[in-house]
Structure 1
């Protein structure tokens, strides 16, 4: 993995490309139409609908730029082709047990732009991912979480 280009999983790149396609196609057209419709309502200085539509259009264009830059600057890693065994590297799907509460959680270590904690996709640059990299199934480790020190056991490591 090149150290100068941020990593991105193949699945993450595919999701970002699909989002980009949606934003550049149907979403962009929808927002252009909304701006045009609001503009037709007259005085632009006091037209809140127009200003809101322009703002949404600007956010959409900003996200398009962000995705295009991320996709062109990232190194896409096909995690299905990795063969690190049970060692945790970028792209690993890691099953953990919190030794203090017996709570189980599964994280996938992904590129920064594709991270989404709600889907248990953690950024490779995050503190927990950095604590996991290089460890193996069966290892136990301490992690300083925002709510205090946690003790985990790695119960599974896989790649897909």
Structure 2
């Protein structure tokens, strides 16, 4: 009984820390603490597995490499998840519980699923940042060639369209923002090339030819 009471006190303290936006535990305990909190109150919750990319080589172009700007974006997302979204979903669960029968409570089950996704994302970002090799491209020696973190303007020689993109780590990639993964076919095709070079890249839609118009380190 004493051990159970102590356990309950610890979990309630976790809940209060989350509510005031001061969550600072290690990622490994995020899922366990939240799951224990809900199970203790009679609410089992499933947390989806976290898919993480691993590599034993910390190379300059490895999957662990991140541009400083990309690392900042991940840190901002992590802060938002811990201080805004996580407390909100816990409040949503409490509100849904007050509506009575949980077996047919769609809001309750949706909130529990959202909790699992948030916890998984927190774990993933913390693991990614803990393994990351942060590169500041403005401070890395270069010789005018395309490197990780550089901003490159290329022209599709078939149609004349141009696009500007930045080569970033896989977890930073966002095609809408012009952030292209270093592991993508296009990035692999232009890496170590210079202005004026023309390269052929095998892409899902077929072979494309690109000419490098500009390389910047910003």
TM-score, length basis structure 1: 0.95
Q: Which residue of 2 aligns with 1:38?
A: 96
C-alpha separation between the residues in 1 aligned to 2:163 and 2:141? Answer: 23
Q: Which residue of 2 aligns with 1:97?
A: 155
Q: Aligned-pair RMSD on alpha carbons?
A: 1.4
1:85 Cα deviation from its structure 2 partner: 2.8
Q: Could you say what secondary structure the match of 2:152 adopts? A: strand
Q: Deviations over 1:76-121 (max 9, x none)?
A: 1111112213111110101001111000001100001001111111
C-alpha separation between the residues in 1 aligned to 2:210 and 2:77? Answer: 35
C-alpha separation between the residues in 2 aligned to 1:142 and 1:30? Answer: 49
Q: Which residue of 1 aligns with 2:116?
A: 58
Which sits farther off after the overlay, 81-90 or 52-61?
81-90
Which sits farther off after the overlay, 102-111 or 138-147?
138-147
C-alpha separation between the residues in 2 aligned to 1:62 and 1:2? Answer: 24
Q: Which residue of 2 aligns with 1:48?
A: 106
Q: Could you say what secondary structure the match of 1:41 adopts? A: coil
8 A Cα contact 1:97 1:154, kept in partner: yes
Q: Which residue of 2 aligns with 1:131?
A: 189
Which sits farther off after the overlay, 80-89 or 51-60?
80-89
Higher relative contact order (CA 8 A, sep 6+): 1
1:5 Cα deviation from its structure 2 partner: 6.5
Q: Deviations over 1:25-65 (max 9, x none)?
A: 01111111001100111111111110001111111111111
8 A Cα contact 2:65 2:169, kept in partner: yes
Q: Which residue of 2 aligns with 1:2?
A: 58
C-alpha separation between the residues in 2 aligned to 1:91 and 1:6? Answer: 13
1:23 Cα deviation from its structure 2 partner: 0.2
- Bigger CA radius of gyration: 2
1:2 Cα deviation from its structure 2 partner: 2.7
C-alpha separation between the residues in 2 aligned to 1:54 and 1:81? Answer: 45
8 A Cα contact 1:110 1:123, kept in partner: yes
8 A Cα contact 2:67 2:137, kept in partner: yes
Q: Which residue of 2 aligns with 1:28?
A: 86
